[in-house]
């Protein structure tokens, strides 16, 4: 249990230290040292529990009581802060939600919560091990990357107060809160860390304090407070009606036939808001205004992953005949489809990544809602592949933006000439997102098999069409990166060493994740699925999962794709020839004289099909459809309660 407390408390201590460090040198030492310690502790946790799959941990009653009161006091203080900020910026809904949540939790704790015995406040299972590795490795690599990135950020905002201590404080506090989420079995503790991530995202999104940043940060806060209110109501219902406050006990009650529909629906709702599913996806799109490390952290290893983690944990009580399961399946499926469509019309690279994140999280939520063995396997594998790949791509875009002055895909002409290493990293990341035989496509294949087996034809259509359109937005971006434009100055030397270190490590992780997924699938993910379906025939469950021989074949193909170019590196005979520019070239291969004796610049441009996949239209359809799902589920619950 000591390692769990270390992983929760040490990042918080590091955050406090960084809050008071003003100089770059000491800050860099602390960030790198703390990142190494956190990553090493996460790996140690995984190794120590690799064979057993984890265990439950009781906490001394007096210590548990002290922690509970401390959390309650902090929640009240944070509620007061939110209330005051809402009044200051005239965001009264945020103030109202804070004024409701905190008093309800305090009332519950003193009236009911303190009388309920929590046998195991903390736990480790294979899913929390996977999440701990994602937080500890990918999250810390983002923190190291931020050292170089924030130097450029401060340089570009010369004259503004240096608020980097506050930024790094929030990054490490985020890591601490995420560890708290994945290790907490006590629902009250889980909710406390859940709200800490909400506050961290609020302050990180609003970091620049521009009007747009403030507006978007409050949008994120309000939407996540709505989910937090659903979490509070789930705790109150579970405590007062079932007399339990443990997540594993809630799942056991559901598996043994007790009615846990209402808390399951409320917790899935909380997970949907945190995972930025429609109609709540706009808060994650608005997070683009924050510095790039914030986007990478939110999309890959924190915040949104907390949402899908909770829904996936609830999968044993979900499924086709559960209102909560149907809500997760259809909200996730609709979000996957409509967000994928919306991404087609985007040329802003960060916006493409944001819609891709929303879409892939939708697929994970839909798989978790289906609660079928292969679907749980696919959802877990998607979490892994998405975390490593999306963090790489976000950080690459941040580096490109600082060095070419734009994050627009259309401005990435000749990136291979200007930043060849970065362009190569981006090509690897994009390929891993949608091409065979890389991991994301394998996971989507498994998701399709699972949905077919579960017998949900509508969800199957969502996944088929949502998956197919990824070709449009990834293919356009990939085409830009591989295009060679003449006479581009190589500016690769401008990129900071910390950025290259993190990006290189993430590229290695992407390749390793694709090469070794048969191993960790067999040793971690499949055993987790068998644990989830412990009451079923293990052979039958294993038979529904993706065949191991197929996974080995996929891994071998990845190895061939990665190694084959190395065999011919530097051995090709290059012959440079003038580029045909549909007119008389002017000698620089960049301009030509057209038929009307007009000088024209050579340009490559993509078609974004805005007339067909307009962003506002796709969002409107998705919002209406998902709201309809919420209304139907609410009607079913209300009807059941009236009966």
Task: Tell me how far apart the alpha carbons of residues 404 and 527 are, in angstroms, rounded to a whole number.
Answer: 46
**Three-state DSSP class for 599?**
strand
Which residue numbers in the chain have pLDDT < 50?
642-643
For the record, the structure tokens of 526 come out as: 């499949």
Task: Tell me how far apart the alpha carbons of residues 48 and 33 are, in angstroms, rounded to a whole number.
Answer: 22
| CB within 8 Å of 367: residues ≥ 6 apart | 332, 375, 376, 378, 379, 382, 447, 450
Do 72 and 203 meet the contact criterion of CB atoms below 8 Å apart? no
Task: Tell me how far apart the alpha carbons of residues 330 and 464 are, in angstroms, rounded to a whole number.
Answer: 14
What is the per-residue pLDDT for 640? 60
**Three-state DSSP class for 443?**
helix
What CA–CA distances, in Å, run from 366 to 49, 86, 207, 386, 432?
29, 34, 33, 15, 21
What is the per-residue pLDDT for 642? 47
What is the per-residue pLDDT for 546? 58
What is the per-residue pLDDT for 356? 92
**pTM, whole model, 2 decimals?**
0.92
Task: Tell me how far apart the alpha carbons of residues 378 and 380 are, in angstroms, rounded to a whole number.
Answer: 5
Which backbone phi and psi does 320 adopt, to 5 degrees?
-65, -25
What CA–CA distances, in Å, run from 260 to 19, 238, 632?
43, 8, 18
What is the per-residue pLDDT for 93? 94
Task: Tell me how far apart the alpha carbons of residues 500 and 506 are, in angstroms, rounded to a whole number.
Answer: 10
Q: What is the DSSP secondary-structure string of 271-290?
A: HHHHTT-TTSTHHHHHGGGS
**Three-state DSSP class for 597?**
coil
The helix (H) or strand (E) run that includes residue 541 is: helix 538-544
| CB within 8 Å of 529: residues ≥ 6 apart | 373, 376, 377, 380, 541, 545
Q: What is the DSSP secondary-structure string of 339-385?
A: HHHHHHT--BHHHHHHHHHHHHHHHHHHHHHHT-HHHHHHHHHHHHH
What is the per-residue pLDDT for 643? 45
Per-residue pLDDT tens digits for 180-214: 999 999 999 999 999 999 999 999 999 989 999 99
Q: What is the DSSP secondary-structure string of 5-22?
A: HHHHHHHHHHHHHHHT--
What is the per-residue pLDDT for 536? 56
Of the candidates 625, 575, 581, the residue with the CA atom closest to the CA atom of residue 459: 625
């Amino acid at each position: 249990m000591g390692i769990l407390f270390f992983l929760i408390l040490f990042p918080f201590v590091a955050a406090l230290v960084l809050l008071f460090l003003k100089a770059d040198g000491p800050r860099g030492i602390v960030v790198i040292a703390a990142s190494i310690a956190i990553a090493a502790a996460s790996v140690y946790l995984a190794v120590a529990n690799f064979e057993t799959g984890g265990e439950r941990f009781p906490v001394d009653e007096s210590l548990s009581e002290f922690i509970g009161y401390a959390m309650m006091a902090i929640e009240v203080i944070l509620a007061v802060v939110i209330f005051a900020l809402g009044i200051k910026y005239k965001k009264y809904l945020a103030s109202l939600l804070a004024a409701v949540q905190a008093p309800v939790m305090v009332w519950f704790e003193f009236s009911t919560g303190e009388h309920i015995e929590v046998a195991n406040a903390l736990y480790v299972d294979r899913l929390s091990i996977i999440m701990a590795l994602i937080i500890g490795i990918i999250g810390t690599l983002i923190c190291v990357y931020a050292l170089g990135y924030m130097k450029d950020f401060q340089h570009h905002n010369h004259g503004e107060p240096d608020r980097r201590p506050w930024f790094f404080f929030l990054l490490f506090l985020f890591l601490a809160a995420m560890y708290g989420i994945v290790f907490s079995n006590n629902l009250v503790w889980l909710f406390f860390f859940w709200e800490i991530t909400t506050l961290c995202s609020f302050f990180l999104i609003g970091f620049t304090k521009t009007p747009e940043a403030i507006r978007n940060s409050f949008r994120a806060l309000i939407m996540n407070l709505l989910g937090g209110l659903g979490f509070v109501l789930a705790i109150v219902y579970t405590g007062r009606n079932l007399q339990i406050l443990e997540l594993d006990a809630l799942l056991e009650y559901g598996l043994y036939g007790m009615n846990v529909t209402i808390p399951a629906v409320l917790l899935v709702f909380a997970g949907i808001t945190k995972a930025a599913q429609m109609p709540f996806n706009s808060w994650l799109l608005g997070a683009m205004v924050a510095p790039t490390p914030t986007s990478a952290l939110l999309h890959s290893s924190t915040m949104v992953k907390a949402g899908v983690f909770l829904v996936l944990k609830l999968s044993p009580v979900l499924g086709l005949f559960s209102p909560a399961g149907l809500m997760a399946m259809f909200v996730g499926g609709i979000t996957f489809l409509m967000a994928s469509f919306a991404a087609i019309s985007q040329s802003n690279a960060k916006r493409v990544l944001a819609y891709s994140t929303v879409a892939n999280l939708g697929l994970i939520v839909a798989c978790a809602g289906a609660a079928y063995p292969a679907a749980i396997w696919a959802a877990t594998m998607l979490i892994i592949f998405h975390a490593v790949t999306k963090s790489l791509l976000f950080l690459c875009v941040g580096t490109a933006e600082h060095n070419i002055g734009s994050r627009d895909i259309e401005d990435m002409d000749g990136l291979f000439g200007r930043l060849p290493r970065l362009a190569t990293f981006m090509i690897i990341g994009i390929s891993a997102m949608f091409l065979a035989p890389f991991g994301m496509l394998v996971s989507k294949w498994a998701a399709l098999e699972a949905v077919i087996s579960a017998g949900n034809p509508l969800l199957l259509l969502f996944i088929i069409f949502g998956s197919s359109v990824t070709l449009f937005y990834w293919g356009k971006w990939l085409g830009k990166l591989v295009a060679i434009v003449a006479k581009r100055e190589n500016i690769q030397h401008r990129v900071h060493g910390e950025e290259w270190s993190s990006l290189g490590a993430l590229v290695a992780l992407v390749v390793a994740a694709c090469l070794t997924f048969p191993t960790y699938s067999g040793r971690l993910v499949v055993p987790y699925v068998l644990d989830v379906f412990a009451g079923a025939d293990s052979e039958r469950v294993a038979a529904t999962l993706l065949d191991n021989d197929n996974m080995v074949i996929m891994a071998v193909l990845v190895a061939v794709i990665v190694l084959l170019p190395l065999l011919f590196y530097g051995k090709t005979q290059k012959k440079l020839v003038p580029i045909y520019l549909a007119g008389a070239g002017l000698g620089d291969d960049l301009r030509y004289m057209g038929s009307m004796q007009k000088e024209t610049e050579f340009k490559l441009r993509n078609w974004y099909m805005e007339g067909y996949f307009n962003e506002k239209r796709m969002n409107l359809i998705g919002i209406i459809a998902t709201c309809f799902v919420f209304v139907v589920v609410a009607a079913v619950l209300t009807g059941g309660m009236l009966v």
